[in-house]
Chain A
Amino acid sequence: MNWLNRYITAVKNYLPGNMRDDVGQELLSLLQDKIEAAEEGKGRPLTEEEQLALLKQMGHPVKVAAGFHKRQTLIGEESFPFYKQTLKYAWLGVFVVYFILAALSMTTAPDFKFSREINRALPDMFNAMIYAFAIVTLIFYAGDRVLKRRDFFGNWEPRNLPKTENQWVPIPLYETIPAIIFTVIFLAFINALVSSVGVDSDSGGNGLAFSESVAGLLPYINVTILFSLGLMVYNLFTPYWTAAKLIGNVAIGIAACAILSILLGLDSIIVIRGSATALAPFYPSLHTLIKTVLAIVLLVNVYEILRDAYRAWKLGKR
């Protein structure tokens, strides 16, 4: 009986608290019935070996317990192919970014040492991959819950299929997935990895970092990016523009323009940290370069706002 109790206790360990005792008691009763039947057949009590063979036949405690769990998934079957593809490209993107950074470091750092750079870059890359994994998983998990709650696939209406007159109405996957990946990597970098993008080879607090004013804007940048990501994930399942989605895109664009304008008005966007004084001569030109890039992004955003507003008006008119 000792083996039975040990087996039941092992199974119970893997069961949710609310069914632990009930299922445990029932399994015990079932096993006792099996042993009784086997003993009747043999006309003698079962040996210890025979009891153990019977438990082995019953199955591993984890497997037995798993049968009683409700079937749960983090990412639904419908979203999983997109999730897998996005994750794959996100990791590839992280790898490419680190490869480029390593190449830049190799060509610019005067005291470049391969083994030291590898030792520094590998943990950073591993961290970035974990961030990318967590962000992609969270986005898809949240998206999946929303889709399920709204019975998105059940409520599908053929009438909502996109109009085919305008070439720009369909949103191809080859545009959406890279856009999601780029945004996820960007989000990961500005939140967690910015310190590791320093040109200085010392690990720790030396190199380039955001200024305090930029850090203060980070929550607004994050919210804007997360809304944008939400829309992109939604675009995976409804790969076509509608007037409502275009208006959403315009709103996100306006928020992005507001943030970019504030950034352009700041005296300093990046600062040199710690003893990375070797970077000081490059600081003014680097700052000008960043502001130029931001100005270009702002102009592209303004163009996209106007374009999307016009498209929304065009779609809404019909």
Chain B
Amino acid sequence: MVENPVDTDRFDKMRMELRRGALVLGVLAALREEHYGYSLRKYLISSGLDIDEGTLYPLIRRLEDYGLLASEWRQEEGRKKRYYRISADGLRLLQELRNEWDALNTTLKSLLEK
């Protein structure tokens, strides 16, 4: 996309900053359906949101610590897997974040199109 190596570096930093907040929204939205860690990452990638494992797994745990996700261990095919799902608090927050996102999106769209 950007050829110059310095520009690529700058672009990557800005891109990461831009995506950081959006990832929470993406993860909360994805976890309206139950997932375990690996299946969640695959689901996000297939939806177009490529997220690094080192970011995703700690993020899920933080969201759970905040009470936005609920999890349970299950035995499946001889192995234990931890399933995550959005909590009632998480759903409320997701709705508020979604409104915020829509408002931001509209504003930015209008600013960018000027």
Q: Is the CB of B54 within 8 A of A59?
A: yes
Residues of B within 8 A of A74 (CB): none
The 7 closest A-B pairs by CB, nearest first: A33-B38, A67-B58, A30-B37, A68-B58, A26-B82, A67-B54, A30-B38
Q: How far is the CA of A63 from the CA of B52 in the complex (A)?
A: 13
Residues of B within 8 A of A100 (CB): none
Interface of B is mostly: helix
Residue from the set A19, A26, A68 with the largest chain B CB neighbour count within 10 Å: A26
Residues of B within 8 A of A67 (CB): 54-55, 57-58
Q: Is the CB of A25 within 8 A of B80?
A: yes
Q: Is the CB of B61 within 8 A of A68?
A: yes
- Decide if A32 is an interface residue (CB 8 Å cutoff): yes
Q: How far is the CA of A96 from the CA of B37 in the complex (A)?
A: 57
In the complex, what residue of chain B is closest to A26 when comparing beta carbons?
B82
* Residues of A1-47 whose CB lies within 8 A of B: 19, 23, 25-27, 29-30, 32-34, 37
* Residues of A178-203 whose CB lies within 8 A of B: none
Q: How far is the CA of A29 from the CA of B58 in the complex (A)?
A: 15
- Decide if B81 is an interface residue (CB 8 Å cutoff): yes
In the complex, what residue of chain B is closest to A67 when comparing beta carbons?
B58
Q: Is the CB of A64 within 8 A of B79?
A: no
Q: How far is the CA of A160 from the CA of B38 in the complex (A)?
A: 53
Residues of B within 8 A of A29 (CB): 36-38, 79-82
Residues of B within 8 A of A37 (CB): 38, 42
Residues of A within 8 A of B36 (CB): 29, 33
Interface of A is mostly: helix
Additional pairs, 4, CB under 8 Å, beyond known A29-B38, A30-B57, A33-B39: A29-B36, A29-B82, A33-B81, A63-B54
* Smallest beta-carbon distance B73→chain A, Å: 8
Residues of A within 8 A of B39 (CB): 33
Residues of A within 8 A of B89 (CB): none
* Residues of A59-98 whose CB lies within 8 A of B: 59, 63-64, 67-68
- Decide if B53 is an interface residue (CB 8 Å cutoff): yes
* Residues of B43-72 whose CB lies within 8 A of A: 53-55, 57-58, 61
- Decide if A306 is an interface residue (CB 8 Å cutoff): no
Q: How far is the CA of A27 from the CA of B80 in the complex (A)?
A: 11
Residues of A within 8 A of B73 (CB): 25
Task: Say which residue of B57, B61, B79 sits within 8 Å of A32 (CB atoms).
Answer: B79
Evaluate whether A34 and B54 lie within 8 angstroms (CB atoms) in the complex, with A23-B61, A26-B82, A68-B61 already known: no
Q: Is the CB of B79 within 8 A of A58?
A: no
Residues of B within 8 A of A64 (CB): 54
